[in-house]
């Protein structure tokens, strides 16, 4: 690669050896220099957690194609922090996270470690894209997701995303003619209805597995969930400013004087 080749930093939340990240690396290598810094173990559902009470360690990891990556014993957000703060000698042009094994559409974007790796980049002013496939299986077919990633990385480099701009990309688990294309979407309103599977351990004590089911509470046809259900990949621009501006305006009538 010429010295001017863009630097693409790749992370994920399923661990550095997950098939999804290997699929994303394969795609990204066509576009520039690739650096891989990812958790050494599964970190799904970690959201934007960071490690404040334990030391972080960096391990070299041999990846397919002769690439050396870096595994970190931390969260996805830790990985991006330590990548830009310690490992890399220049600033990445784009941060890619995924391809996650499982959807991160709608409110799942809040819990997602995949998206938080990308969001950490965005918080540092680096454009970032999180990719997720709507299939949790380890051996899921990544071809449609790779096609979408190829298109979006090309577009993100040709018409560069602005500093700190973040895209949440979800890909339906459909292939061939059943895959309809890519749509710009908004985050659907929905929530996880928690369900706890109660079991008993060998000592007679109860323990619980968090499962839950997703309840869509949005009939819009411009949402990520709608697009995915129609066979389209969804591209949702996201921001980290969590201020509820309409609510702030509504609260102007509150008497906050002491």
**Distance in angstroms (rounded) separating the CA atoms of residues 233 and 103:** 11
The residue nearest Mn ion at its CB is 44
Could you tell me the smallest distance in angstroms from the CB atom of residue 113 to Mn ion?
A: 6
- With respect to Mn ion, which residue has the nearer C-beta, 31 or 148? 148
Contact 23, 100 (CB under 8 A): no
Could you tell me the smallest distance in angstroms from the CB atom of residue 69 to Mn ion?
A: 17
- DSSP notation for 12-50: -SS-TT-HHHHHHHHHHTTTSEEEEEEESS--TT-TT--
Q: List beta partners, residue 240.
A: none
Could you tell me the smallest distance in angstroms from the CB atom of residue 171 to Mn ion?
A: 14
- With respect to Mn ion, which residue has the nearer C-beta, 44 or 185? 44
- With respect to Mn ion, which residue has the nearer C-beta, 13 or 33? 13
- With respect to Mn ion, which residue has the nearer C-beta, 13 or 93? 13
The residues of the shown chain that bind Mn ion, judged by CB under 5 A, are: 13-14, 44, 100
- With respect to Mn ion, which residue has the nearer C-beta, 34 or 117? 117
Could you tell me the smallest distance in angstroms from the CB atom of residue 217 to Mn ion?
A: 24
Q: Where are the beta strands (DSSP E) in the chain?
A: 7-11, 33-39, 58-63, 67-72, 94-101, 128-133, 166-171, 181-184, 190-193, 196-200, 206-210, 213-216, 232-238
Could you tell me the smallest distance in angstroms from the CB atom of residue 44 to Mn ion?
A: 3
Could you tell me the smallest distance in angstroms from the CB atom of residue 74 to Mn ion?
A: 15
CA 22 to chain centroid:
15
Q: List beta partners, residue 35.
A: 9
Contact 148, 131 (CB under 8 A): yes
- With respect to Mn ion, which residue has the nearer C-beta, 33 or 142? 142
Contact 150, 99 (CB under 8 A): no
């Amino acid at each position: 690669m010429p010295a001017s080749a863009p630097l693409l930093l790749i992370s994920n939340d399923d661990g550095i050896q997950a098939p999804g990240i290997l699929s994303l690396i394969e795609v990204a290598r066509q576009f520039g220099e690739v650096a891989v810094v990812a958790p050494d173990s599964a970190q799904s559902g970690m959201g934007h957690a960071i490690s404040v009470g334990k030391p972080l360690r960096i391990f070299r990891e041999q990846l397919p194609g002769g690439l050396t990556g870096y595994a970190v014993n931390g969260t996805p957000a830790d990985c991006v922090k330590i990548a830009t703060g310690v490992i890399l000698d220049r600033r990445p042009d784009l941060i890619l996270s995924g391809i996650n094994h499982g959807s991160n559409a709608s409110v799942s974007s809040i819990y997602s470690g995949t998206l938080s790796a990308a969001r950490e980049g965005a918080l540092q002013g680096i454009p970032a894209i999180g990719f997720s496939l709507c299939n949790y299986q380890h051996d899921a077919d990544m071809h449609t997701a790779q096609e979408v990633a190829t298109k979006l990385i090309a577009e993100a480099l040709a018409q560069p995303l602005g500093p700190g701009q973040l895209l949440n990309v979800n890909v339906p688990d459909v292939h061939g003619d059943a895959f309809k294309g890519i749509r710009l979407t908004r985050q659907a309103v929905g929530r996880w209805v928690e369900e706890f599977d109660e079991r008993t351990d060998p000592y007679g004590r109860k323990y619980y597995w968090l499962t839950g089911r997703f309840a869509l509470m949005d009939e819009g046809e411009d949402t990520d969930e709608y697009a995915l259900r129609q066979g389209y990949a969804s591209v949702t621009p996201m921001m980290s400013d969590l201020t509820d501006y309409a609510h702030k305006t509504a609260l102007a009538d509150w008497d906050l004087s002491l």
